[in-house]
A and B are shown apart, each in its own frame.
Chain A
Amino acid sequence: MKYLPLVLANLGRHKIRTVLTIASVTLALFLFASLRTVVTTLHANAQFGSARRLVTLNATGLVFVLPMAYANKIRALPGVESVSWANWFGGHYGDTKQFFAQFAVDAESYLAMYPEISLPEDQKQAFLHERTAAIIGKRLVDRYGWQVGQNVTLQGTIFPGDWTFTIRGVYTPTAPQIGDDVLLFHHEYLDERLGHAGIAGWFIVQIRDPGAAAAIAKAIDDQFRNSSAATKTGTEQAFQAGFATMLGNVSLLMGTIGTAVVFAILLVTANAMMMSARERTGEVAVMKTIGFSDRTLFGLVISEAGVIAGAGALLGLGAAKAFYRAINFNGFGFLPGFDITTGTLVMGGGIALLLMLASGLVPAARAARLPIVQALRRVE
Chain B
Amino acid sequence: MALVEIRDVHKIFQRDTERIEVFTGLTLDVAEGSFTALMGPSGSGKSTLLNLLAGLDRPTSGIVRVAGSEVSAMTAAQLAPWRARHVGFVFQQLNLLPVLTAFQNVELPLLLTRLSKREREERVRIALGVVGLEDRMRHYPRQLSGGQEQRVAIARAIVGDPTLVLLDEPTGQLDAKSSREVLALLARLNSEFKKTIMIVTHDPHAAEQATTVLHLEKGTLIEKEAVAR
Contacts and interface: CB of A to CB of B under 8 A. Distances in A.
Nearest to B168: A376
B84 A291 contact: yes
Contacts of B85: 291
A264 interface: no
A10 interface: yes
Nearest to A5: B104
B83 A291 contact: yes
B56 A294 contact: no
B31 interface: no
B99 A12 contact: yes
B91 A292 contact: no
Contacts of A289: 54, 56, 83, 87, 89, 91
B194 interface: no
Given A282-B94, A283-B97, A379-B94, A293 B104 contact: no
Contacts, number: 74
B57 A373 contact: yes
Interface residues of B, number: 30
B41 interface: no
A2 to B, nearest CB: 5
Nearest to B101: A9
Interface residues of A, number: 25
Contacts of A296: 80, 112
A287 to B, nearest CB: 7
Interface in A1-17: 2-3, 5-6, 9-10, 12-13
19 contacts: A6-B100, A6-B108, A9-B97, A9-B99, A9-B100, A12-B99, A283-B97, A287-B97, A290-B108, A290-B112, A291-B83, A291-B85, A291-B109, A291-B112, A296-B112, A372-B56, A373-B51, A373-B56, A373-B57
Interface of A: 2-3, 5-6, 9-10, 12-13, 282-283, 286-294, 296, 372-373, 376, 379-380
Given A13-B98, A283-B94, A290-B156, 7 more contacts: A6-B104, A286-B97, A289-B56, A290-B89, A291-B112, A296-B80, A380-B93
10 nearest A-B pairs in the assembled complex, by CB-CB distance: A291-B84, A293-B80, A9-B99, A291-B83, A372-B56, A282-B94, A373-B57, A289-B89, A13-B99, A290-B109
Interface of B: 51, 54, 56-57, 76-77, 80-85, 87, 89, 91-95, 97-100, 104, 108-109, 111-112, 117, 156
